[in-house]
């Protein structure tokens, strides 16, 4: 097999033809690769680039590598480590490997009446892995903090024990990886990855609806982890049994432990979020700002954040 650097250059040349020049120059051109124990590591300049590439290009990158080499190596996207202490590097490697967002913690989660119960349930599940609530199933509308809580569980577990094996994955990512493992004859590697974890966090469970083979794989993964006493957490936009096209046996298992709903933001929590976010964004709480925000009815957290970001930009322009 030719040198990895030469292979990567051929991969990049293919993407240079496929992508627009700005996209290629920004995201893929600055990357490099290294191989350790037959596993490929794609190294990006920072965490933001890593997350962007993982969410938009990873399946296509694997496909191109297969086209160039005729092989399907295990590929992980990681961010380059800079100016970090030894302990920080170790924790960072763990977080990078697990797909966790280090900014989503219990400390940064804004708690109110509408989300206090799922917050407490998530915190207990993270503190007593596999014992308190297993599985924990969190459902609710978009933008209410479900994903934040899943990441918070993983980050809390790693913070208190860096040897814990944690994986956060969306249902779509799980399904795509499963399909690719079959195509590349790596089904056992896929199973080993997901059945040997201590904490499995699966987001957007509703995506499994109608995907029978992926559901079956999740079903067996669930059984394996549950019997070993490993912590399993799911998030969805609706209760498991209301997901269209979900197998009844799988839906039943998803709700074996505790099911909790994150309900829409109430007025007091909206006010609390506005105050805290204004502080984080260094937005001056003038009478004009207060009047503007009080007239608005926000459905979810992203709407509040978007409004405050707009105010922050306006205040910067006025200086």
pLDDT digits (tens, 9 = 90+) for 34-55: 888 778 899 988 877 888 888 7
| Rounded distance between C-alpha atoms, residue 174 and residue 146, angstroms | 18
Domain ranges of the chain: 4-80, 98-262, 267-318
Calculate the average pLDDT of the chain: 84
pLDDT value of position 95:
43
Q: Does domain 98-262 have CATH number 3.40.50.300?
A: yes
Q: Output the pLDDT for position 91.
A: 43
The mean per-residue pLDDT over the stretch 12-31 comes to 88
The mean pLDDT of 63-68, rounded to a whole number, is 88
- The pTM score is 0.67
CATH topology for 4-80?
A: GMP Synthetase; Chain A, domain 3 (3.30.300)
- Give the C-alpha distances (Å, rounded to integers) separating 128 from 121, 230, 269, 296: 11, 10, 28, 40
pLDDT in tens, 129-188: 988 889 999 999 888 889 999 999 999 999 988 888 999 999 988 998 888 888 878 888
SS3 for 177-217 is HHHHHHHCCCHHHHHHHHHCCCEEEEECHHHHCCCHHHHHH
């Amino acid at each position: 097999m030719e040198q990895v650097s030469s292979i990567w250059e051929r991969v990049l040349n293919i993407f240079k033809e496929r992508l627009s020049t700005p996209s290629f120059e920004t995201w893929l051109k600055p990357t490099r690769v290294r191989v350790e124990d037959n596993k490929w590591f794609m190294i990006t300049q920072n965490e933001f680039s890593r997350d962007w590439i993982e969410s938009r290009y990873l399946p296509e990158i694997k496909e191109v590598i297969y086209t160039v080499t005729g092989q399907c190596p295990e590929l992980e996207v990681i961010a380059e480590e800079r100016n970090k202490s030894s302990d920080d590097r170790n924790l960072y490697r763990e977080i990078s490997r697990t797909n966790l967002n280090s900014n989503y913690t219990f400390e940064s989660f804004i708690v109110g009446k509408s989300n206090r119960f799922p917050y407490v349930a998530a915190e207990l599940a993270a503190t007593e892995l596999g014992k308190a609530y297993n599985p924990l199933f969190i459902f609710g509308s978009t933008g209410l903090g479900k994903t934040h809580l899943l990441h918070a569980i993983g980050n809390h577990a790693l913070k208190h024990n860096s040897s814990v094996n944690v994986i956060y994955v969306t249902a779509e990512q799980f399904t795509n990886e499963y399909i690719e493992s079959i195509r590349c004859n790596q089904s056992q590697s896929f199973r080993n990855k997901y059945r040997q974890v201590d904490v499995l966090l699966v987001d957007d469970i509703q995506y499994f609806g109608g995907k029978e083979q992926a559901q079956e794989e999740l079903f067996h993964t669930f059984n394996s982890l549950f019997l070993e006493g490993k912590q399993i957490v799911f998030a969805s936009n609706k209760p498991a049994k209301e997901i269209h096209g979900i197998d009844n046996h799988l839906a039943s298992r998803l709700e074996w432990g505790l099911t909790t709903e994150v309900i829409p933001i109430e007025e007091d929590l909206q006010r609390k979020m506005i105050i805290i976010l204004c502080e984080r964004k260094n937005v001056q709480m003038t009478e004009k700002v207060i009047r503007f925000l009080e007239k608005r009815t926000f459905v979810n957290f992203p709407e509040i954040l978007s409004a405050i970001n707009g105010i922050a930009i306006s205040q910067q322009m006025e200086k």
